[in-house]
Amino acid sequence: MANIVILGAGMMGSAFSTPLADNGHRVRLVGTHLDGDMVEEIHESHVHPKLRAHLHPTVVPFTYDRLGEAIQDADVVVIGVNSNGIGWAGDQLAAVLPDDVPLLFLTKGMTGSEDRIDLLPWVLREHLPVRHRDRIKLAAIGGPSIAGELVVRHHTCVVVTGEDSALLEQLAVLLRTPYYHVWTSTDMIGVETCVAMKNIYALAVGLANGILEKTGKPENDAVMWNLAAALFAQGLWETAYVVDYMGGDRRSVVSLPGAGDMYVTSMGGRNGRMGRYLGMGIPFSAAKATYMPDDTIEGSQLLQAIGPTVDRFVADGRFDGAAIPLLRTLIDIVCHDAPPEIPWDDFFAGAQGR
């Protein structure tokens, strides 16, 4: 039995408590400064208001100001905050994280700067005291995992990734249940790149629904699976290009963290809904303010975080712009309110060797 602290009481952090608690671990679910209402509801009824499901009765909720108390004897700390809160999480942990306690990341995303793109585990590590940075062991979960399905124990397949093979095996044993199936991978860069980029390309796949809605169904009620599939395929190709640049393994692109996670994210959820609005011709800023003002759109957050860096990399030759036409189009759509005009002549050229 292990002591597990989950920082972030949102949908995925809370759902992740289910396999842990089912395995008999002591789980402390610590909300962020934005999770006060959820923590209170969980404390009173053990129902998560957004998941609309009961959490395991042994899960103990904590407010963020009690993180120091919750973490004292932790064996693992799980990071389940919003991607925009990764710096906040690092600052909170800096004062209380015990020595030699590994961090397991559910949070997905990347950040861009003047000359580099970073994965979020590296970003959080920089917020920790210097004495922790080289010693702390980092791991992450990647793969198709919808929180609402996990919390009700639907079959879910993921990989746990990191650089320490022994730690990965320990974590896999902690996590595996008859419904939560876990494999290990030491390709942390590839896995984390895939699970971040999939949110961007889920936006793209969602464009097809919006374009269909704007143009109207034909007399035979045909939809636009052809277009959606083409956008999905281009997204995988471009993800592989970015994985290559970051130094990851392309095998992750065609397995659970890449194709698997992109598929499940494209089939529904907030990124797909936003993609629909964009495909209808509604500028991103208007769609966000009017239809999804309180929703976290991870794909758009990532585009805003790395868009300027991608543009700079293309300009100075570090990225081949012809290899990532869909990414560049989505940057224009989200960051500059451009219309969803798909550059067909540029698509698939790299993938088809033309």
Domains along the chain with CATH numbers: 3-186 (3.40.50.720), 189-352 (1.10.1040.10)
How confident is the model over 209-250, as pLDDT tens digits? 999 999 998 999 999 999 999 999 999 999 999 999 999 999
The answer to whether 93 touches 30, Cβ cutoff 8 Å, is no
Which among 266, 211, 214 is positioned nearest to 236, based on CA atoms? Answer: 266
- Would you state the structure tokens that stand for residue 257, as one six-digit string? 């963290």
* Predicted pLDDT of residue 343: 72
CA distance 352 to 143: 27
Helix (H, G, I), strand (E, B) or coil at 28: strand
The answer to whether 112 touches 88, Cβ cutoff 8 Å, is no
* Predicted pLDDT of residue 354: 36
| Residue 255 burial (10 A CB sphere; 0-12, 13-18, 19+) | buried
Q: Which residues of the chain have a pLDDT value below 70? A: 348-354
* Predicted pLDDT of residue 279: 96
* Predicted pLDDT of residue 348: 64
At a CB cut-off of 8 Å and minimum separation 6, what does 277 contact?
Answer: 210, 287, 291, 292
The answer to whether 38 touches 6, Cβ cutoff 8 Å, is no
| Residue 69 burial (10 A CB sphere; 0-12, 13-18, 19+) | exposed
* Predicted pLDDT of residue 150: 98
Task: Compute CA distances 131 → 70, 76, 128, whole Å.
Answer: 22, 18, 8
**What is the pTM assigned to this prediction?**
0.94
